[in-house]
Amino acid sequence: MAFWKPGTIAPGSAVDRDTENETDTAVVAHAEQQYRHLTLKQQRERLPVFKLRRELLYSVETYQTTIVIGQTGSGKTTQIPQYLEEAGWAGKGKQIACTQPRRIAATSVSQRVADEKNVKLGAEVGYLIRFDDQTSSKTRIKYMTDGMLFRETMIDPLLTNYDVIMIDEAHERSLYTDILLGVLKKIQRKRPDLHVIISSATLDAETFYKFFNHNQTKDQTKDTANIISLEGRMYPVDTLYVDEPVADYVETSIQTVFDIHMQEPRGDILIFLTGRDEIDRVVSEIYDRSKTLPKNSLHIDPLPLYAGLTLQDQLRVFEPTPRDTRKVIVSTNIAEASVTLEGIVYVIDCGFVKIRAYNPKTGMEALVVTPISKASALQRAGRAGRVRAGKSFRLYTENTYNTLKDTSIPEIQRTNLAPVILQLKALGIDNVLRFDFLTAPPAALMIRSLELLYSLKALDDVGRLTIPLGMQLAEFPVDPMLGKILLSSGDFHCSQEIVTIAAMVSVQNIFIQPSKKMDKMALLDIRRQFWVEEGDHLSLLNVYNGFVQNGKSSGKWCHDRLLNFKALARAIRIRQQLVKYLKRFDVPLVSAMDGTRLDQDLQRATASERIRKCLVSGYFSQAARAEPDGSGRFRTIRDGVLLNVHPDSVLFNRNPTCVIFHEVVETNKPYMRDLTTIDETWLAELAPHFYQYQTTEKK
Ligand code: ADP
Ligand code: MG
């Protein structure tokens, strides 16, 4: 093991792009560069999976389930569906599905496969993610998020559209991957013709094998599952630790980039950080600081990689690095296994990941930055060894590494299960506690989620799905709380506004991060044009309406207001889809601003009040009251959890007395994001069950 001290390398010694010695490593790097000029067909045949093509096809033919283990980059995701199709699967109107836990993987991989097959994306090869369907009647290979495939079981419980289903990235153990594994096992009993492939980047084949092998005898020839291991081509990776804990891993990661740039031979750098804010900051800092590099050194090209990027922006990271450039990809956990990046020789690992975690004691789900597992650290380091021997710089000490958990906790054991329970019940799986889980979720988590569904009136007293509300919530492709406000928006006479708000909270990255140089006051002036004192939801409504009225036709309007044109365009498309659902569920489309057809009570209420009450009808469980001590902190009304207002919120430093919030983000402190001020009496009025329960319990 080696150590290094970040930021100790004297600048001015940058690798010179013209005079670099043609060392062995550089030669290898050149050779790798040259592979890029191979035809796509030749590139395909160089992948480790290619040698096992026939064995794979034989296994899929022979066994109901095939488990494929192979390192990231061996060709599992892009090649296996193509082999199957070439061998005649997905004939007679059937399709091959390949699921991904992440949207960004589904979109970028399908584009790559369409290129390899020289077809247009959306024709023979397509993708399906929430609110975005790029498939057609021609589509035979369909990349999709695992959540979307699970959703399809509600319309087609036996998934009869598919003859092969590949559950990819199974090692990631995302919530919907785990649920799908249970559902597929059930479907296999009724559909012997359905073939399943489970693919994983780590060596956990046994778990899947035991789960899927229906053979009860000792006779292995009767096995219904088979394991195939792809041989991995991996170069050694040197791991370096910091010798004492770093104060700010974001800053240290930037320093480390320049340390590498000054003293290490060419080769791209991959940085793992936890989220978009950090990534945007690092990208812009690297960009600024790289201007001071000596003139004749390699250029540095920092590129972000996270889920909210558009497809075009994502694809930039896959483009070949020019000869005079060092690419620095600054990524979330996406790059750990979901996508393969060529040319990475150095990895910088901050040691943390942002995950969704649900606390059954408080009933709150939060995005929390937590330490990664050892398995994750290993996987991240491995990204450096794909083209030649590489280095992994860990921004934590070896002692810290030793305290990490061996593996990450599957999502199903740490997330809000309400949406899944709803969908399982809609599938007719009433006793969710007895569902065949690969790993069962803790009972407390289950109970709390059931309770939330009950208070939303999606379940009745005996835990059955209510008709029509529960059924409709299960069908709606949004979380049950948001679904509830959409379905009640007709009653509150503000569905036009609510559907806009719902679309806006479903899009990430509406606001563009200002550059560091931008004056704080100037920024506030720009943001303030949309602000209303009732909070973020109504301000988002303003942004959307402003965009639709003035900014739709060109990017300039958005640019001047630090708004993300593409994100807003996406909000428009999402809104259209949500409107379709509302029509299907007979929710009248009415605007709060239009005063006709109202009963007297509603007439008295202002438009804003109606919208906010409608929000309370779904988000009542996420309500918080200001602390009396004037600290600006809040306490959730039912469970007494202390929370802070997110600095990006309209209500930051505005001292409202009572709010509801859309989500909690936990970095150094827990923050509420997307807040709206409410009148506390509305809670008793709109969610008597939920708050009644608390008063009786306290006695
Ligand atoms: P695995 O699923 O086993 O991790 P993949 O099938 O994703 O492997 O990748 C196989 C090869 O395809 C890799 O060499 C990778 O670089 C290449 N590849 C995948 N996606 C893209 C893309 N969008 N652009 C260029 N190359 C890609
Ligand atoms: Mg893959």
Q: Looking at residue 127, which CATH number applies to its domain? A: 3.40.50.300
396 CA from centroid of ligand 2 (Å): 28
Say if residue 395 is in the same domain as residue 502.
Answer: no
User: Hey, whose CA ends up nearest to atom 10 of ligand 1?
Assistant: 75
Say if residue 303 is in the same domain as residue 195.
Answer: no
- Per-residue pLDDT tens for 395-430? 999 999 999 999 889 999 999 999 999 999 999 888
Say if residue 494 is in the same domain as residue 365.
Answer: no
Backbone angles phi, psi at 635, to 5 degrees: -130, 130
Q: Quick check: is 39 in a domain? A: no
DSSP string, 264-300: S-S-EEEEE-SSHHHHHHHHHHHHHHHTTS-TTBPEE
For 465, the token pair is 């799905």
In angstroms, the CA 634 to CA 625 distance is 5
In angstroms, the CA 125 to CA 82 distance is 10
- Per-residue pLDDT tens for 96-114? 999 999 988 999 999 999 9
In angstroms, the CA 24 to CA 36 distance is 19
With a 6 Å cutoff on the Cβ, whether 151 touches ligand 1 is no
- The number of folded domains in the chain is 3
Q: Strand, coil or helix: what is 129?
A: strand
Assess whether pLDDT exceeds 70 at residue 601. Answer: no
Q: Quick check: is 429 in a domain? A: no
Mutate which of 33, 43, 112 for ligand 1 pocket (most atoms within 8 A of beta carbon): 112
408 CA from centroid of ligand 1 (Å): 25
Q: Are 334 and 274 in contact (CB under 8 A)?
A: no
In angstroms, the CA 262 to CA 278 distance is 23
Q: What is the pLDDT of residue 435?
A: 92
Say if residue 187 is in the same domain as residue 252.
Answer: no
Say if residue 171 is in the same domain as residue 304.
Answer: no
Say if residue 164 is in the same domain as residue 239.
Answer: no
Residue ending a domain, choose from 388, 411, 434: 411
Q: What is the pLDDT of residue 450?
A: 92
Beta strands in 487-602 (DSSP E): none
In angstroms, the CA 292 to CA 503 distance is 43
Angstrom distances, CA of residue 374 to CA of 1, 23, 63, 340, 401: 16, 33, 33, 20, 7
User: Hey, whose CA ends up nearest to atom 24 of ligand 1?
Assistant: 318
Q: Quick check: is 40 in a domain? A: no
In angstroms, the CA 408 to CA 400 distance is 16
In angstroms, the CA 590 to CA 601 distance is 17
Contacts of 65 (CB under 8 A, 6+ apart): 188, 195, 196, 197, 198, 208, 212, 213, 224, 225, 226
692 CA from centroid of ligand 2 (Å): 49
Provide the residue range defining the domain that includes 640. Answer: 476-593+602-698
Q: What is the pLDDT of residue 18?
A: 36
With a 6 Å cutoff on the Cβ, whether 47 touches ligand 1 is yes
With a 6 Å cutoff on the Cβ, whether 75 touches ligand 1 is yes
pTM of the predicted structure, to 2 decimals:
0.85
Q: What is the pLDDT of residue 250?
A: 95
With a 6 Å cutoff on the Cβ, whether 74 touches ligand 1 is yes
Please confirm whether the linkage preceding 236 is cis (ω < 30° from 0): no
Q: Quick check: is 502 in a domain? A: yes
Q: What is the pLDDT of residue 683?
A: 94
159 CA from centroid of ligand 1 (Å): 27
With a 6 Å cutoff on the Cβ, whether 76 touches ligand 1 is yes
With a 6 Å cutoff on the Cβ, whether 70 touches ligand 1 is yes
338 CA from centroid of ligand 1 (Å): 10
Q: What is the pLDDT of residue 605?
A: 61
Average pLDDT of the segment spanning 30-53: 76
Say if residue 515 is in the same domain as residue 657.
Answer: yes
Residue ending a domain, choose from 229, 255, 287: 229
Residue ending a domain, choose from 178, 201, 229: 229
Ligand nearest to the CA of 76: 1
Say if residue 149 is in the same domain as residue 203.
Answer: yes
Q: Quick check: is 85 in a domain? A: yes
- Per-residue pLDDT tens for 126-183? 999 998 999 999 999 999 999 999 999 989 999 999 999 999 999 999 999 999 999 9
In angstroms, the CA 356 to CA 362 distance is 14
**How sure is the predictor about 340, in pLDDT bands with cuts at 50, 70 and 90?**
confident
Say if residue 494 is in the same domain as residue 570.
Answer: yes
Q: Quick check: is 378 in a domain? A: yes
- Per-residue pLDDT tens for 241-267? 999 999 999 999 999 999 999 989 999
Say if residue 223 is in the same domain as residue 251.
Answer: no
Q: Strand, coil or helix: what is 28?
A: helix
Determine the distance from the C-alpha atom of residue 136 to the mean position of all C-alpha atoms in its chain, rounded to a whole number. Answer: 25
Q: Quick check: is 37 in a domain? A: no
Say if residue 375 is in the same domain as residue 486.
Answer: no
Say if residue 532 is in the same domain as residue 397.
Answer: no
Q: Are 97 and 162 in contact (CB under 8 A)?
A: yes
Q: Quick check: is 359 in a domain? A: yes
Q: What is the mean pLDDT of the chain?
A: 88
100 CA from centroid of ligand 2 (Å): 8
